[in-house]
Structure 1
Amino acid sequence: MADVEFLALATKPSVQLSYSFQAPETTTTPVLVVFLNGLGLPQAFWHPVISQLKALRNGRSLPAFLTYDRFGQGQTTERDPQDAGAEDPTHGHDCIASVQDLRQLLIQITGEKLGVDVDSVSLVLVGNSIGCALARLYAQEYSGTVTALLLLDSVLANSDFVSVFPDPDAPDFDPATIHPIPVEAILAVRAGTRRIFHPDVGNKEGLSRRNLRDLLPASDGPLLRGPNGHGPYVTVVGHDFDTFAEESAKMGPPKPVTNRFVNPYWQRYNEGLAKITEPEFSKGPILAPNAGHFVQKDNPEFVAQELNELLEKVI
């Protein structure tokens, strides 16, 4: 496994980002796979996926791999300098700022490590949770530059999370619609969700989600453009329903509530997500066996298999 290195972005020279880069092996096609963290797990959790992929390919050509920790995350201990003047440092910068940082990182990495221009590389973005939103935004902001996306249990970018559950305080609410779940249970789940997952809740990274639903108002659009005049290859992966329900129960929502409201809602979101490219370039949504929200942690072998399938199309 490649060692963690540090670099300063030319656009933010006063701080250092941690990253890990592995050079390509026996390939003439310049392909770079970039792994995009969620808010929860740092770059180290992608390394088992890379190891599994290497074993799977068994001597066949390998692309270059890049993992990194955003400012204030994992081994990048320094905060985004943009946050210094923020009224609330837990909402110091948004996803567009993180995408711009990613662009600068890729400019420097492709130039220094691969000796090529960033836009001459076949870029494969692998994201989990909010990393999926960053992958989509990157593909939108830098249209025509992303060859493939592997989206692992994307954040519900256009949701406040609370509205996933019925509102017992709404004038038209009918308790029969949630039977046999008691109203008190739904009220408790909504309160807990607002306290933990609502976009107004900040994080130590300072990556704000407050405007994410404005940046990505629909799961099924806009249609992305790849480098060859058509959309990129897109594989959409969701969590295993039972595993996620068990995972969620540890944080509050009982399994029947998650299975009745959250899992169907997330599945509909993922069905839309599969439409951000043309049907012939889309796969999914498929469910990762025995994996909760952090798919790369729970089932790295599955992620490696899906990534390998995408690489077969682009290498």
Structure 2
Amino acid sequence: MAANKIHYGKIAIPSQPATPIHYTFVPGSGQLKNGLEPPLVVFLSGLTDPRKIWTPMLRVIKEDGWVQGIFQPAMLLYDRFGSGETAEIPATEIHDAMDATNDLRNLIVGVSEKHLKIVPNEIDSLPIIFVALSFGGVIAELYAKKYPSTVIGLLLLDPAPTDTDGESWLPNPDAPDFKPETLPDGVTTIMLRKARAQHRASPYNPNTPNKEGIKWDNLSTYIPEVGRPQLMGPWKKTPLLTIMTHDPVPFAEQVDKLTGIPALLTLTYNSPKWFIYLEKLANLVPSHLRKGPIVAKGSGHFIPLEQPRLVATELKELIKKLQAVRNSNL
């Protein structure tokens, strides 16, 4: 991955022609059997996270190189509206997760035409691999469902839950049926009430405004059931899915530092319920096509920053599996 091959650019999409999206494109090399183009790996950042969050992982790939015998895919990173180098869109415009998904589609079309010479009406012939962190996982899922038979692999890193606002994972001390005597040792009513308020104020709460201007309190409209319907890939035995989640203790300490929510509450309620959610999410593909959820040992939520080598290893493993799948289908 030579540095002089990396292209830094910006491109306007139809929905926001006055606000170009900043992106990074890394060319791939080689072809699959029968002259087919290698997949495009698209990195999807978490809410308000810039694309540079992936820099440590890309540095690892550059230092270690790709596994001998597997194709090197082209890679695309970008800043959504209101994140990184890409400007915000007018606050008066409603922009939700599906809009962000459509933006991504238009970006892929434009970048592929410019750098891969794939014309727009042939874009579905380009196989996609998503590497997605947090809210990026929501966009990856929506894209794979809206554009079936285009996504061959997904590496989801602590994907954001679509069926909760986080606050509801904590017992509500003001609910009529609340029983304080059932609380675990160390957990108090005062602690819960304060933590729920902190969740509501967090920029990662779907009911709270964020710098991207993304409305995501309506995810149940697009994803009414976790893990359903199953995804369809363009090749037989695809898409492959790997889910990686945070290490509970470092994550709890991270949440405490960032939001003030006590680590005890995160360990008792949020992390266990998040893991259950991920187990349901894994049903997006049959059991023989998935790996995980696996724990990123030593990492909090920002896995690409905290464990970049682990992410690089899982991506290479996913690509190696996909190459074997493709070769077996020919």
Q: What TM-score do you get using the length of structure 1 for normalisation?
A: 0.92
Distance, in Å, in 2 between the alignment partners of 1:298 and 1:222 is 32
In structure 2, the partner of 1:310 is 318
In structure 2, the partner of 1:211 is 218
**Structure 1 residue 230, shift from structure 2 partner:** 4.8
Distance, in Å, in 2 between the alignment partners of 1:51 and 1:294 is 16
**Structure 1 residue 206, shift from structure 2 partner:** 0.7
Tell me whether 1:234 sits opposite 2:234 in the alignment.
Answer: no
Tell whether the 8 Å contact from 1:144 to 1:229 is kept in structure 2 after alignment.
no
**Distance change in 2, residues 1:276/1:307 (3 Å):** same
Tell whether the 8 Å contact from 1:34 to 1:125 is kept in structure 2 after alignment.
yes
In structure 1, the partner of 2:66 is 57
In structure 2, the partner of 1:113 is 115
In structure 2, the partner of 1:146 is 151
Distance, in Å, in 2 between the alignment partners of 1:52 and 1:119 is 30
**Structure 1 residue 176, shift from structure 2 partner:** 2.5
Q: Return the letter of the residue paired with 1:173.
A: F
**Distance change in 2, residues 1:169/1:10 (3 Å):** closer
Distance, in Å, in 2 between the alignment partners of 1:63 and 1:222 is 28
Q: Return the letter of the residue paired with 1:286.
A: I
Q: What 5-or-longer segments of structure 1 have no aligned partner?
A: 87-91
**Distance change in 2, residues 1:194/1:12 (3 Å):** closer
Tell whether the 8 Å contact from 1:231 to 1:278 is kept in structure 2 after alignment.
no
Once the two structures are superposed, residues 165-191 of structure 1 have per-residue CA deviations (whole angstroms, 9 ceiling, x without a partner) of 011111221112213211111111111
In structure 2, the partner of 1:130 is 135
Once the two structures are superposed, residues 68-115 of structure 1 have per-residue CA deviations (whole angstroms, 9 ceiling, x without a partner) of 0011110112x23xx4643xxxxx300111111111111111122112
Which of the residues 80, 86, 90 maps onto 1:76? Answer: 86
Which of the residues 15, 21, 24 maps onto 2:25? Answer: 21
Tell me whether 1:97 sits opposite 2:99 in the alignment.
Answer: yes
Q: Return the letter of the residue paired with 1:133.
A: V
Q: Return the letter of the residue paired with 2:230.
A: L
Distance, in Å, in 2 between the alignment partners of 1:67 and 1:219 is 27
**Structure 1 residue 155, shift from structure 2 partner:** 0.8
Q: Return the letter of the residue paired with 2:197.
A: A
In structure 2, the partner of 1:89 is none
Which of the residues 266, 289, 299 maps onto 2:297? Answer: 289
Distance, in Å, in 2 between the alignment partners of 1:49 and 1:193 is 30
Tell whether the 8 Å contact from 1:159 to 1:213 is kept in structure 2 after alignment.
no
Tell whether the 8 Å contact from 1:30 to 1:120 is kept in structure 2 after alignment.
no
- More deviation in 227-236 or 187-196? 227-236
Superposition CA RMSD, Å: 1.7
Q: Return the letter of the residue paired with 2:172.
A: D
Distance, in Å, in 1 between the alignment partners of 2:318 and 2:181 is 45
In structure 1, the partner of 2:184 is 179
Q: Return the letter of the residue paired with 1:48.
A: P
Helix, strand or coil for the counterpart of 1:290? coil
Q: Return the letter of the residue paired with 1:57.
A: W
Helix, strand or coil for the counterpart of 1:157? coil
Distance, in Å, in 1 between the alignment partners of 2:239 and 2:176 is 44
- More deviation in 259-268 or 2-11? 2-11
| Count of equivalent residues | 307
Q: Return the letter of the residue paired with 1:23.
A: P
Q: Return the letter of the residue paired with 2:157.
A: L
Q: How does 1:269-284 map to 2 (within 5 A)?
A: 269-284=277-292
**Structure 1 residue 209, shift from structure 2 partner:** 1.1
Which of the residues 158, 165, 168 maps onto 1:160? Answer: 165
**Structure 1 residue 299, shift from structure 2 partner:** 0.6
Distance, in Å, in 2 between the alignment partners of 1:268 and 1:20 is 35
Tell whether the 8 Å contact from 2:29 to 2:72 is kept in structure 1 after alignment.
yes
Tell whether the 8 Å contact from 2:48 to 2:210 is kept in structure 1 after alignment.
no
Tell me whether 1:46 sits opposite 2:54 in the alignment.
Answer: yes
Tell whether the 8 Å contact from 2:48 to 2:84 is kept in structure 1 after alignment.
no
Q: Return the letter of the residue paired with 1:253.
A: I
**Structure 1 residue 3, shift from structure 2 partner:** 4.3
**Structure 1 residue 231, shift from structure 2 partner:** 4.5
Tell whether the 8 Å contact from 1:17 to 1:71 is kept in structure 2 after alignment.
yes
In structure 2, the partner of 1:266 is 274
Q: Return the letter of the residue paired with 1:266.
A: W
Helix, strand or coil for the counterpart of 2:102? helix
**Structure 1 residue 26, shift from structure 2 partner:** 3.1
Distance, in Å, in 2 between the alignment partners of 1:12 and 1:167 is 41
Once the two structures are superposed, residues 106-158 of structure 1 have per-residue CA deviations (whole angstroms, 9 ceiling, x without a partner) of 11111221122321122101111110000000000101110001110011111
Helix, strand or coil for the counterpart of 2:214? coil
Tell whether the 8 Å contact from 2:131 to 2:154 is kept in structure 1 after alignment.
yes
